């Protein structure tokens, strides 16, 4: 099922400065073998639940799931044909679209709870840190999973709203699984993490100083599942079946939080005691268009996008 983009699109990919990552070989059997690039975080639990519940099998799809460090790595994997579909944060998708890549969202992925103090992502510091709030992040070193992306642009917004100046923050990249160790070792002053790593840091005595998703927009649509325009044009039936299976998976995950906690333990190494207390994201089927517009606005203000994204072209 893997399809490569045109030479022109590949050139646009290189111009965007995005590095490709590896996928898996296609499987056999009567079902369509569909490769999906993911991040090993709680956000993608619905896909694993949907696979377990048989939603994709009923749609005639055999999933092949592969991990990457972040959405900025998954986007070029889909663009180059290494993955048929991918899971990525909205800023990565907006960046790709504004750079000339014909990526298209096919289903929602995950959303913020919209609650300060009870969201699935936050900026965390150690128990003894002198950083008390978002304004104190000014001039500090903050780890994010990908540079010039949804992490740093929403953190800057948190700092601005708290009355601080985000221009002097030094952002450094680390994969989410590395964040707890980097904070513990003092490599950075603060880390931006999502669950289950937020709860892992809290269990070690760390605390949240900024709720960047909540500050960015009400009920922020954080990430989505996507493919290329070429895939949609060449196999619209497969795209429709994949979308329907994802939507069923989102509905199941939203109605069964205990199942989300359980399934997360099958693809991460987070212990059960951490999974039991972690804050789950929201899994709505509908995309919050206004929040995506806000991410596009923030990205333009922070210079992440060279060209203004076309949100209408990106969203279904």
pLDDT tens track for 105-152: 999 999 999 999 999 999 999 999 999 999 999 999 999 988 999 999
Extended beta strands in the chain, E state: 32-38, 61-67, 85-89, 103-111, 121-125, 141-144, 170-173, 190-194, 207-210, 221-228
- pLDDT of the residue at 177: 87
Given this model, what pLDDT does residue 70 score? 67
Exposure letters 216-229 (e unless 16+ CB within 10 A, then b) = bbebbbbbbbbbbe
**How many other CB atoms are there within 10 angstroms of residue 235's CB atom?**
17
Same domain, 87 and 232: yes
Per the domain annotation, does 2 fall within a domain?
no
If asked whether residues 98 and 247 sit together in one domain, one would say: yes
Please check whether residue 1 lies inside any domain of the structure.
no
The whole-angstrom distance between residue 306's C-alpha and the CA centroid of its chain comes to: 21
Q: Are residues 106 and 224 in the same domain?
A: yes
Task: Give how many domains the chain has, as a whole number.
Answer: 2
Q: Considering only CA atoms, which of 242, 291, 222, 243 is closest in space to residue 42?
A: 222
Q: What is the pLDDT of residue 270?
A: 81
Answer yes or no: do 207 and 245 share one domain.
no
Flag whether 52 is in a domain. yes
Q: Is 174 left (phi over 0), alpha (psi -120 to 50) or beta?
A: beta
Q: What is the pLDDT of residue 40?
A: 86
> Which residue, 156, 186, 216, sits at the end of a domain?
216
Domain membership of residue 173 (yes or no) is yes
Phi/psi of residue 78, nearest 5 degrees: -70, -45
Q: What is the pLDDT of residue 19?
A: 32
Distance CA 166, CA 156 (A): 5
pTM: 0.85
CATH of residue 200:
3.40.190.10
Q: Are residues 210 and 134 in the same domain?
A: yes
Q: Same domain, yes or no, for 32 and 166?
A: no
Per run of 10 residues, the mean pLDDT along the chain (length 316 residues) is 44 36 44 94 95 98 89 86 95 94 96 96 97 98 93 97 96 93 96 91 95 96 97 97 98 97 91 91 97 96 94 95
In angstroms, the CA 158 to CA 19 distance is: 28
**Hey, what are 83's tokens?**
């993955």
97 shares a domain with 20: yes
> Of 189, 216, 243, at which residue does a domain stop?
216
Range of the domain at 104: 7-112+219-314
- Residue 146: the pLDDT is 87
| Per-residue confidence (pLDDT) for residue 189, from 0 to 100 | 98
Residue 51 lies in a domain: yes
Mark whether 104 and 15 lie in a shared domain: yes
State which of 216, 243, 277 marks the end of a domain.
216
- Both 14 and 101 in one domain: the answer is yes
Shared-domain flag, residues 46 and 99: yes
Edge-to-edge strand list for the sheet holding 121-125: 170-173, 141-144, 190-194, 121-125, 207-210
224 pairs with which residues across the strands?
88, 108
* The predicted structure's pLDDT at residue 37: 96
Residues 236 and 94 in one domain: yes
| Domain presence at residue 151 | yes
Task: Kindly state whether residues 153 and 174 are assigned to the same domain.
Answer: yes
């Amino acid at each position: 099922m893997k399809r490569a983009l045109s030479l022109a699109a590949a050139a646009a990919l290189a111009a965007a400065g995005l590095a490709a990552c590896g996928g898996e070989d296609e499987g056999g059997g009567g079902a369509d073998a569909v490769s999906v690039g993911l991040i090993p975080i709680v956000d993608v639990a619905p896909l694993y639940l949907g696979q377990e519940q048989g939603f994709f099998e009923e749609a005639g799809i055999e999933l092949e799931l592969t991990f990457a460090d972040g959405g900025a790595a998954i986007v070029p994997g889909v663009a180059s044909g290494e993955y048929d579909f991918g899971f990525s944060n909205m800023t990565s998708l907006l960046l790709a679209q504004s750079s000339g890549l014909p990526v298209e969202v096919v289903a929602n992925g995950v959303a913020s709870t919209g609650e300060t103090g009870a969201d699935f992502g936050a900026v965390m510091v150690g128990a003894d840190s002198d950083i008390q709030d978002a304004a104190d992040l000014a001039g500090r070193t903050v780890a994010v999973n990908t540079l010039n992306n949804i992490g740093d642009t929403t953190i800057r917004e948190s700092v601005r709203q708290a009355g601080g100046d985000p221009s002097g923050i030094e952002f450094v990249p680390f994969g989410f699984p590395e964040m707890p160790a980097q904070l513990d070792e003092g490599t950075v002053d603060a880390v931006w993490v999502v669950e289950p790593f937020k709860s892992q840091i809290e269990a070690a005595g760390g605390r949240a100083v900024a709720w960047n998703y909540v500050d960015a927009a009400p009920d922020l649509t954080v990430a989505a599942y996507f493919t290329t325009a070429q895939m949609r044009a060449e196999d619209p039936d497969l795209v429709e079946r994949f979308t329907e299976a994802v939507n069923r998976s989102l509905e199941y995950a939203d109605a069964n939080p205990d199942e989300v906690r359980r399934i997360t333990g099958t693809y991460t190494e987070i212990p059960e005691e951490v999974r039991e207390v972690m804050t789950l994201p929201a899994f709505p089927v509908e995309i919050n268009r206004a929040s995506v517009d806000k991410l596009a606005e923030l990205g333009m203000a922070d210079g992440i996008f060279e060209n203004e994204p076309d949100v209408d072209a990106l969203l279904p």
